Structure 1
Amino acid sequence: MSDAYSTDFSQWTRQTAQLLRERRWQDIDVANLIDEVEDLGKSERRAIASQLTRLLLHLLKWQYQPQRRSDSWLDSITDARTQIHLAIQDSPSLKGYPAEQLADCYRRARHQAATQTKQELSVFPATCQYALDLILAEDWLPEGY
């Protein structure tokens, strides 16, 4: 069945699910199944990091380009927060992951903000000035920073 894994992933997933339902343990492509289960966890973490980066980017733009503030930035901020909260709700073990990733996500967001706003990188603080609980808070925006 490992041939199906490399030639038709969708078919491989259907076959694997069927074999699991039928409890045909000896026919399961265990090595690839293990890889896929591990990748599921990576995907969840990657999604949180991506949303946190997007959230930080729009918070920076909100703070450093007040003249360009828009409803689409607010929508992006709200959606990123929602996606992070939903991912953690589905996988409570990831509750601490945003804190673990904050510095890296901020670094990426800072570079993206400089590029998108056409401002010098040095305009944006080298380290995140926002507390994580505020970043993730439903109604917080960096008005007074």
Structure 2
Amino acid sequence: MENLYKTDYTQWLGQQRELLANGQFDQLDIPNLLEAMDSEMGDTTNELRSHLRVLLLHLLKYDYQKRILKDSWVEDKVIHTWMPSIYNSRMEIKEHMKRNLSLEPKTDEILSEAYLTAKRNAIKELNKFIRIENKRLNKNSIPDECLWTFEKITDDDWLPEG
């Protein structure tokens, strides 16, 4: 059974389900079942973190464009491409939270972790579009900590003020 766990996870999982359904507890692959459960629990956190990174990335870019850059080219040609990502990420986060209520107490911590990567990526991506050298971003251009709450960034009607 150990070999099947490593070579065909889906088939192994199906086998484990059958064993459980038939009450054959003595034949279960307990060590690998525990590992699979630990992995699955970690995946729900990672999935939320991933959706938050995408959402924060586009909110940070939107915010910086509206408050600082005010570049008409970005406003006309680029900013509209960020909106579907913002809306889709919010939808994915809300659906994920409905399926994983145990993540609720961890949202602030996960948001903080996601923010650091989103900040770094926002700086890199915005600098691709910034044509004026003195407007290029550095690590001090965006705050080190997220100024927005989880509730705020997942609110369908909210966008950073310009």
TM-score, length basis structure 1:
0.91
Identity of aligned residues (%): 31
Contact 2:90–2:156 (8 Å) recurs in 1: yes
How far apart, in 2, do the equivalents of 1:78 and 1:25 lie? 45
Question: Could you say which residue in structure 1 is the equivalent of 2:51?
Answer: 51
Structure 1 counterpart of 2:133: none
Corresponding residue for 1:64? 64
Q: Distance between the aligned counterparts of 1:136 and 1:7, measured in 2?
A: 39
1:6 aligns with 2:6: yes
Q: For 1:121, which of 136, 139, 146 is the aligned residue?
A: 139
Query: What stretches of structure 1 move > 3 A for 4+ residues in a row?
Result: none
Q: CA RMSD in A?
A: 1.4
After superposition, the C-alpha distances for 1:43-83 in whole angstroms (9 at most, x for unaligned) are 1111111111111100001111342311x311111111111
Does 1:110 find its partner at 2:110?
A: no
CA distance in 2, matches of 1:128, 1:17: 42
Which of 131, 134, 138 in structure 1 is aligned with 2:152? 134
In structure 2, the gaps of 5 or more residues are 67-74, 128-136
For 2:22, give the aligned amino acid: E
Q: TM-score, normalised by structure 2?
A: 0.82
Amino acid across the alignment from 1:69: I
Aligned residue pairs total 143
Task: Give the structure 2 partner of residue 33 of structure 1.
Answer: 33
Aligned equivalents of 1:131, 1:17: Cα separation in 2:
40
Q: Aligned partner of 2:79: which letter?
A: R
Q: Does structure 2 retain, via aligned residues, the 8 Å contact 1:52–1:98?
A: no
The corresponding residue for 2:19 is 19
Q: Which has the higher contact order (CA 8 A, sep 6+)?
A: 2
Note the residue ranges of structure 1 that are not aligned, 5 or more in a row: none
Letter in 1 for 2:38: E
Contact 2:45 2:110 in 1 (8 A): no
